[in-house]
Amino acid sequence: RTTYPALIEIDTQMVAAFLDWMVTVPHKNRAGKLAKASPNSANKSLVYVRSFVSTAVEHGLANPLGRTKRKKVQTGDHRIEIPPDHIDALMKACSAATWPSRWWRIAETETRGGHYGHEFEPALFWRVQIVWLFTFGQRRGDIVGLKPDNRPLCWCNVIDQAENPHPNGSAINATGWLAFTQSKTEKDLCLPIPTVARRWLDLVAATIPDRQPGDVMLAIGRSHKMFYDAWRAIATTAGVRPKAAMKMVDGRPVMSDRVYQLKNFRSTAASAIERHAKVGRLVTGHATNQDRAPGAVVDSGVFESNYLTSELAVLDALTTLPLPNSFTALLPAS
């Protein structure tokens, strides 16, 4: 098809415009939602473009490599891993938080609701979030829904039974199970809730005695500014930072300071669980290269592919995962 104008007209300017469009303009993803592509997704697409343009040289397309010569999109700090002592510092710094202090009552099918009227210590909100982000490696949008298209956890996602609730599951976990669908990938996950994570969640439950199953668990409204201002204040108070970033500019290293972001807990959890028990991908639901292939159907969940064969391994991984000291030290005496 080298006579098709679109293929012949591909050049560096077109590739650059395509990559810029992917990361700046919202478009439909595999789940049918409008979203900007991540830098990693854009770079993956660049690989595909280079592949079929290079193949076309066999049929007479001139200068295939020159047509797609373009630097990859700069990726962010998604793979920062937070050391345990830094997590401890962040957990302790939560005591200085002043927001939020009241839960919103937001049902799963509502965009906004009223206050419960129950007040709580702001530190509780941030600490339970850190514990759950580290334990399960969830995306922030799966815990605290600041965007309308997020699907944050509701109380009904916590299943209070010992046996795995999946029809084909049989593992036993006394502190219950977490069953939910990831907002970004639409993957279904059902994971055992470890004792420490459950104790932190029970502290939240105790502040909302009139909660309903369909209510969002950590509902604090949708103020992005207040949310991220509060987190930055915690990170500043903690006094810990990642190592400086280094990139090469004209052959010379340029260093730049970085700060911890909540999304860094996802990569931290994935790495910790993978090192501990080699099941990090099953717990976090990270996509595989096969999932990312063009036209691939998103897996309906870890159960359907390989979770059931690793059910006990996942249970053992989450219930024996070494935790930062603060996760237990800051719990009130039972």
Which residues are CB-neighbours of 333 under 8 A, at least 6 positions away? none
Angle, CA of 245, 247 and 253, to the nearest 5°: 105
- Centre a 10 Å sphere on the Cβ of residue 133 and count the other Cβ atoms it contains: 24
3-state secondary structure of 188: strand
Predicted local confidence at residue 74, as pLDDT: 63
- Confidence (pTM): 0.76
pLDDT digit string (tens) for 134-175? 999 999 889 987 777 788 899 999 999 999 998 888 999 999
Angle, CA of 246, 252 and 258, to the nearest 5°: 20
Predicted local confidence at residue 104, as pLDDT: 77
Mean pLDDT of residues grouped by 10 in the chain (334 residues)? 56 74 75 72 72 62 58 65 98 95 66 60 96 95 81 94 91 96 87 98 93 87 86 97 87 90 94 94 73 40 52 94 98 85
Cα–Cα distance, 128 to 147 (Å, whole number):
20
Q: Is the dihedral angle over the CA atoms 272, 278, 279, 285 positive or is it negative?
A: positive
Q: Spell out the domain ranges in the chain.
A: 5-67, 84-236+262-329
Backbone φ and ψ for 119, nearest 5 degrees, come out as -95, 160
Predicted local confidence at residue 103, as pLDDT: 80
Any idea which fold 84-236+262-329 has? hpI Integrase; Chain A (1.10.443)
Residue 266's Cβ-count burial label (10 Å; 0-12, 13-18, 19+) is buried
Predicted local confidence at residue 299, as pLDDT: 43
Of the candidates 200, 227, 217, 225, which has an alpha carbon nearest to the alpha carbon of residue 106? 217
- Bridge partners of 34, per DSSP, are 28
Predicted local confidence at residue 210, as pLDDT: 86
Predicted local confidence at residue 73, as pLDDT: 60
Say whether the peptide bond before residue 165 is cis (omega within 30 degrees of 0): no
* Residue 295 in tokens: 């036209």
